[in-house]
Amino acid sequence: MIWNDFWGFGGYARPAEGYMSWQHLTFVTLLVVLMTLLAVLLGRRNRHQSPEKKNRVLAVSAILIDSIEIAKIVVLSIRYNDAAYFIHVLPLFLCSIQLVAIPIAAFSKGRLKEAALDFVMIFGLLGALMGTYFAGNNYTAYPVLSMDNVFSGVTHCISGFCSLYIMLSGMASMEKRNIPFTAAILGGFSVAAYIANIFTDANYMFLTRGDGTPYDIVYNWVSGHPVLYPLIVVGLFVVYIIAYYQMYYLITRRMHNSAKQSKGVAA
């Protein structure tokens, strides 16, 4: 029974509960709450620890997220009897870029590490929310407690955890000099995704269609225009980066000013 009910071999024995069903919302909320609690606990605990100790949490997260994703690809390859199935699940979605970015943030050094840490912090939480609450492409197709949704939910929440952990532990630099690197990472993956979409039936970065995600709003707005739609999607990514940096600087500036005022009153 579990062979069909969880792993999906031979097709799932029960229908999908549906996108935004109570089962979907309950499951992803539990994941997001657990993700947040762990990030707050470990982030606050390690905030004043050495860089090496802070980095251990990221290293474990990097190994865990890639191990789960590899296991998922292996299972899907067996399920569909397709050794080349990995072509359909390359890390070319906005969320799955973290499969590359988190290991770089954990195991590299110098400027590359700084840029990767900033990238994970900026996009990790967004990817977690998009891949859980707004993953209409998954929850309309598979039961909530299935390998497809459980593995996907866990990997997306690892990305969100890393984003919050980097923020709370003080690992991010968010220096303006890293903005071009953040944009270059996103731009490079977007180009690769667009090219991959041309030669496969995939929909990487959702640059071809919305597939039940909020990108459907843009897709319907431009009537699925093959040029305007992907340009607007990438443009929204850029707007998000700029808005995130602006909000970050605004909040940190206010916190800094508040701290100075508090010291002045105490003096």
Range in 14-23, 84-93, 117-126, 136-145 with the lowest mean pLDDT: 84-93
Measured between alpha carbons, how far apart are the two ends of the chain, in Å? 70
Cβ atoms of 164 and 43 within 8 Å: the answer is yes
How far apart CA 175 and CA 15 sit, in angstroms, is 48
pLDDT confidence of residue 13? 83
- For residue range 20-54, what is the model confidence (pLDDT) as tens digits? 999 999 999 999 999 999 999 999 999 999 999 99
Using the predicted structure, report yes or no on whether residue 210 has a pLDDT greater than 70: yes
Q: What share of the chain is helix, strand, coil (3-state, %, to 5)?
A: 75, 0, 25
Percentage of the chain lying above the pLDDT 90 cut: 64
Name the token pair of 76: 């899907």
- How many CB atoms neighbour CB 68 within 10 A? 17
Instruction: List, in sequence order, every beta strand (DSSP E) within the chain.
Output: none
